[in-house]
Amino acid sequence: MNAVTSADDRRAPPARSDVVVIGGGIIGASAALFLARKGLSVTLLEKGRIGGEQSSRNWGWCRTMGRAPAEIPLAIESLRLWENLDREMDGALGFQRCGIAYLYDSEREIAAAEAWLNAASPYQLGARRLGADDIGKLLPGAARPFRGGLFTPGDARAEPSLAAPAIAEAARRAGAHVLENCAARGVETTAGRVGAVISERGRIACQAVLLAGGAWSRLFCGNFGVDLPQLKVLGSVMRTAPLEGAPEHSVGAADFAFRKRRDGGYTLARRNGNISSITPDSFRLFFDFLPALASDWRDLRLRVGRRFLEEWRAPRRWALDAPSPFEAVRTLDPSPADEVLDEGEAKLKAAFPVFAKAKIVQRWGGLIDVTPDAVPVISPLDSMPGFYFATGFSGHGFGIGPASGRLAADLVTGDAPLVDPAPFRLDRFKRAARSMAQVAA
């Protein structure tokens, strides 16, 4: 499916909307759809193209298994919404309940899986343990002697390149204004609450703003004094030409991951292979992320490179009547880490020899928005009534995208929330609480 609007679209935005959604990824598109279906007038602004960044660059997994407890209710609701939306759109999302398996090499991994299974048991997800013999039956052709695993038959996959554009198109059909290549520069307030969004093509008076800007969210809200604790990490992915004889189930081990694509090829990655570039924000947010650094040091890959200087030189403040950083860089399109992908490909071929005949046809990178606890922020900004966040999905956002958009829409309208929003509140972070107090003062 193509983008919702043509690349040279230069329409003026409406003069007024009830809600302006900033960011046309899977979260923003889903929120715009559910807001429009609630009867509100909605404008969705995307500085580049719909789904052009991480929403089209992820693995395409829609999973409940392995989720943080706070995310499990969102994951359950998202699977339901994925299925319903895909049915409504005649399969345009590429959704399929393929089942997902996690495979483990060590007793430490198995113990962690048992702990998760016990914590998740109240949700009745259908996840089950796999012994070594079970793995051979579920995944014929596995050559590595895995010690055990987990399998959730109801988990699923969808097509990242199709999903956000299809959902944004559904939002447009529901009455939303959807504009590509139209950056939001900032927010105007009236009597202390949201009054308008200033876009590069004009002012949009509104009562509410939802920031679903992914890796750009920290920069956007920093312009008006909110210190959102969010960093960016690089994920690298590749895909193959159509391949016969490989597993239908999606699979993740410690050092590789794969899922079948609708075109018959496979999306592959080196699991636990994301790269954290050292940037100025790494120092500004050091103490916020220190607990994660201490607990996940085995999986961290720190790098110093040109992104440090790029972000050092980038403006952190700008006037709303002048071009913003979002117009200078429309799409974050980082180069993939080839050494990480090479490693993942080699590990996969050793574990599943059928992939030795796979032809890699594309590699790409994407910048993932991460929070200190790897749980998203879906929350109002208490110091600015009418402003809401849906960001910081930490590489988990595609699968829970529809329900996250629906929850954000519920918060904006004041309706009964789809799930308990308390775990996603911004004020759980001390730094954010301090900055909000400063804004309020």
Euclidean distance between the first and the last CA atom of the chain, given in angstroms as a whole number: 48
Could you tell me the two tokens for 9?
């679209």
Q: Where are the domains of the chain?
A: 19-99+154-440, 100-153
Between CA 295 and CA 106 the distance in angstroms is: 18
3-class secondary-structure state, position 311: helix
Starting from the edge strand earliest in sequence, which strands make up the sheet with 202-205, in order?
184-190, 193-199, 202-205
d(CA 308, CA 313): 9
Q: Provide the phi-psi class of 181: left if phi over 0, else alpha when psi is between -120 and 50, else beta.
A: left
Q: Is the pLDDT of residue 36 over 60?
A: yes
| Tokens at 360, concatenated | 């890699």
- Write the CB contacts of 336 (distance below 8 Å, at least 6 apart in sequence): 234, 236, 237, 238, 363, 364, 365
Has residue 131 got a pLDDT over 80?
A: yes
DSSP state of 94: -
pLDDT value at position 121?
95
pLDDT at 297: 60
C-alpha 242 chain-centroid distance = 26
Q: What is the pLDDT of residue 430?
A: 75
Structure-token match 């928005």, residue found = 369
Task: Say whether domain 19-99+154-440 belongs to CATH 3.40.50.300.
Answer: no
> Residue 9: pLDDT band by 50, 70, 90 thresholds?
low
User: Whole-angstrom Cα distance, residue 55 to residue 164?
Assistant: 7
Rounded CA separation 368/330 (Å): 16
**Bridge partners for 178 per DSSP:** 44
Q: What per-residue confidence (pLDDT) applies to 75? A: 98
Quick one: which of 418, 416, 412 has its CA closest to 17? Answer: 412
Q: When comparing pLDDT for 314 and 436, which is higher?
A: 314
What local confidence, expressed as pLDDT, does residue 3 receive? 40
pLDDT band for position 362 (50/70/90)?
Answer: very high
The pTM (predicted TM-score) of the whole model is: 0.94
User: Would you call 317 exposed, middle or buried from its count of C-beta atoms within 10 A (0-12, 13-18, 19+)?
Assistant: exposed
Q: How confident is the model at residue 431 (pLDDT cuts 50, 70, 90)?
A: low
Please report which helix (H) or strand (E) contains residue 406, including its range: helix 401-413
The residue whose two tokens read 């999306």 is 267
* Burial class of residue 111 in the structure, from the number of CB atoms within 10 Å of its CB (0-12 exposed, 13-18 middle, 19+ buried): exposed
1 pLDDT tier (thresholds 50, 70, 90)? very low
Of 35, 77, 89, 55, nearest to 398 (Cα)?
Answer: 55
Write the CB contacts of 7 (distance below 8 Å, at least 6 apart in sequence): 49, 180, 181
Strands 42-45 and 19-22: parallel
6 — pLDDT class (breaks 50, 70, 90): very low
The residue written with tokens 């048992």 in the block is 114
